[in-house]
Amino acid sequence: MKTTDCTDPVIHIDPTLCTGCRRCAEVCPVDAIEGLPGEPQTVNADRCVICGQCVQICSVYASDWAGSSPQEGAARRLERIQERDMPADIREPLFAAYYSYNLNKVADMMTKPGQFRIVQCAPAIRVSLAEEFGMPFGTLTPGKMAAALRRLGFDRVYDTNFGADVTIMEEGTELIRRVTEGGPLPMFTSCCPAWVRFAEIEYPDLLDHLSSCKSPMQMLGALIKSYGAQLDEVEPANIYSVAIMPCTCKQFECDRPEMESDGYRDVDEVLTTRELAYWIKQRGIDFANLPDEEFDSPLGQYSGAGSIFGVTGGVMEAAIRTGYELLTNEKLPKLQLDFVRGEEGIRVAEVQVGKLQLKVAVVAGLQHAYQLLDRVQAGECDYHFIEVMGCPAGCISGGGQPKLMLEKHRIEAYRARKSSIYGHDAAHQVRKSHENPHIIKLYDEFLGEPLGHVSHHLLHTTFQQRGPGKQSRSSTISTKGDTGYSIH
């Protein structure tokens, strides 16, 4: 059995800075932070699911004035920047906990001639990127983001939201098939790489409960180098495909050996929201005054359902919008599904879909998953579909999102980002994945049908055991704020 798979850990703690306050250990859902209070901590890479929440909370920074002279302080800072492979001209403070940076690598690759450079952006970036430029929490900037990415040299600016729409088509169909053909149930979402890694480490015996769908990022990556390459008449080998993600675990996901089709990596490199902001600043782009530009077609055209993937409950809501209509052939009476929109760690609901009483659950924050998974293991969980997101408010609270200086701003920022995402959905003409004309076209022209041969080849994946099974928590851990809702 393989236990060590993270030979290049993504999450680091600088022992020369860490004061051992262990606030990171408090937010770590899998007890991966080890060390005595008051001593520098270490990250157990075998257990870490790379959610980056520790990086978000760490407030111990390197003081520029701690050295004996300002010159010494500046030299030490530069050393740390090089150690971390951060852009040299970065001005923000350096914290004890940090993640591996890819910006220097990507910026180098962008200068390589003969490449067709494509970028995709996750739903949660457009509601948080502006915060890095001092704008209010949750400012919605899809247009400026697309404009900035063009100025950074990308030939095509696509959108992970399109990938989310494809995910709904595939995952929704998979759910219907599992429900009608006998399981295994409950089916879990597989969009969140931290959650997938968590299941692989802590509950390997339940892996066949995960949907076989790749995440929206990987799906879009695979489509960019196949369908997209055909449309643009470029060789897949010449495509350099970058993804901008709110998540520290996405690079790990894109490096997984399974994540390739026909010998091409689905996604070549991942940058976080913060890294995109560094890049924009480094290139002197005046973000606030950029014009709004469109995403490229067709792989950048999304429905409202695609855009809500960024918040907890979003995948569930998007799936129900489509699943309901595909199963019943009737219009969903109400598009806004408030029962999945809460903030609790676990939310459960029952939805009447035709003759089927669909039981669903939404989990936000992996510490809440243990209890539920223990019940699945014991065969006591009769839900059909469970969404799990590793981070406390879904991707809008991901480890790669803007880091806030005041703890009291965190909840405020999450709420603003969330309502901005829902506002974005509400403003869309098309709010269901299966009604997105570009999705319809994709299936007509290229994929055939959901779960078909081409889909299977490009869009689905397998999972692997990465640990001995549950080691961190007892099943009695309390999950505060569990609530049950029911709609009929």
Nearest-approach distance from CB 91 to ligand SF4, in angstroms: 20
Q: How many residues line the site for ligand SF4 (CB under 6 A)?
A: 28
Residue 132 in the binding site for other proteins (CB under 8 A): yes
Residues 315 and 170: their CA atoms lie apart, in Å, by 12
First to last CA, the chain: 46
| Marked catalytic residue, from 211, 215, 261, 455 | 211
Could you tell me which stretch among 22-30, 216-224, 274-282, 408-416 binds ligand SF4 (CB under 6 A)?
22-30
395 in active site? yes
343 in active site? no
235 in active site? no
Interacting residues with other proteins between 354 and 413 (CB under 8 A):
402-409, 413
Binder among 23, 105, 150, 151 for ligand SF4 (CB under 6 A)? 23
Nearest-approach distance from CB 183 to ligand SF4, in angstroms: 30
Nearest-approach distance from CB 73 to other proteins, in angstroms: 8
Residue 247 in the binding site for ligand SF4 (CB under 6 A): no
**Residue 471: how many other CB atoms lie within 10 Å:** 12
Could you tell me which stretch among 40-48, 56-64, 165-173, 380-388 binds other proteins (CB under 8 A)?
56-64
Virtual CA dihedral for 368, 99, 395, 253, nearest 10 degrees? -90
Nearer to ligand SF4, 27 or 90 (CB): 27
Residue 460 in the binding site for other proteins (CB under 8 A): no
C-beta separation of 55 from 101 below 8 A = no
> What string marks each residue from 70 to 109 as x (binds ligand SF4 by CB under 6 A) or -?
--------------------------xx------------
269 in active site? no
Residues 432 and 351: their CA atoms lie apart, in Å, by 17
Could you tell me which stretch among 17-25, 100-108, 311-319, 323-331 binds other proteins (CB under 8 A)?
17-25
211 in active site? yes
Residues 271 and 274: their CA atoms lie apart, in Å, by 8
Distances in Å between the Cα of 297 and the Cα atoms of 10, 37, 233, 307, 399 are: 33, 53, 14, 16, 30
250 in active site? yes
Nearest-approach distance from CB 344 to ligand SF4, in angstroms: 20
DSSP H or E segment with residue 454: helix 453-459
Question: How many residues does the structure list for the chain?
Answer: 488
293 in active site? no
Residue 19 in the binding site for ligand SF4 (CB under 6 A): yes
41 binds, among ligand SF4, other proteins, none (CB under 5 to 8 A by kind): ligand SF4
Do the strands 239-245 and 116-121 form a parallel or antiparallel pair, or are they unpaired? parallel
370 binds, among ligand SF4, other proteins, none (CB under 5 to 8 A by kind): none
Q: Fill in the amino acid letter for 451.
A: L
Contacts of 379 (CB under 8 A, 6+ apart): none
Q: What is the DSSP letter of 125?
A: T
254 in active site? no
Nearest-approach distance from CB 390 to ligand SF4, in angstroms: 8
Residues 469 and 452: their CA atoms lie apart, in Å, by 33
Residue 59 in the binding site for other proteins (CB under 8 A): yes
Residue 13 in the binding site for ligand SF4 (CB under 6 A): yes
Residues 186 and 205: their CA atoms lie apart, in Å, by 14
DSSP H or E segment with residue 242: strand 239-245
Residue 22 in the binding site for ligand SF4 (CB under 6 A): yes
Contacts of 341 (CB under 8 A, 6+ apart): 311, 313, 317, 422
* Residues with catalytic roles: 171, 174, 191, 211, 250, 253, 258, 395
